Amino acid sequence: MTQRRALEALLAALAMGLGTWFGGWWAVPAVAALWQLLRRTTPPLVPAFGAALAWVVLLAILPWAPLDRLALRLSALFHLPPGGALLLPLAYAWLMAWSSARITRAITGHEPSATRMAKVTTAPPGSRTDSSSIP
């Protein structure tokens, strides 16, 4: 990740953290979609990383005693190592932000270049592209 992308991810983390703090978990997809609309060339992984980073900070500022007990019980429930349940909210934030940014990117018509290239290089229906079809 370049320095510019890292700075973008930190700014996205700040926006996601403030959105989550004041608006709840549903602010993550909204902020990610808005981020993707404003920064059209940014890959969806940047707001996703920002969301996970923001939730790491939010989990770190919570009181640890009740969070530790909850994490241990949830880890046992999901058959994870002790404290492994703390990774579940991070994955949830990552997936919400990534999917929201990706859907926004597809709706606005700013698809990744690999997808555009696949559309350009596909042969039209009925054309002969392989050598096995030559008589």
Q: Where are the domains of the chain?
A: 3-9+25-113
Answer yes or no: is pLDDT of 3 > 80: yes
Residues 55-113: tens digit of each pLDDT = 999 989 988 888 888 888 988 988 888 888 888 889 999 999 999 999 999 998 876 55
Residues 11-28: tens digit of each pLDDT = 999 999 999 999 999 999
* Alpha-helix runs per DSSP H in 39-79: 45-60, 64-77
Q: Is the pTM of this model over 0.85?
A: no
Angle at 86 between CA 83 and CA 91, to 5 degrees: 140
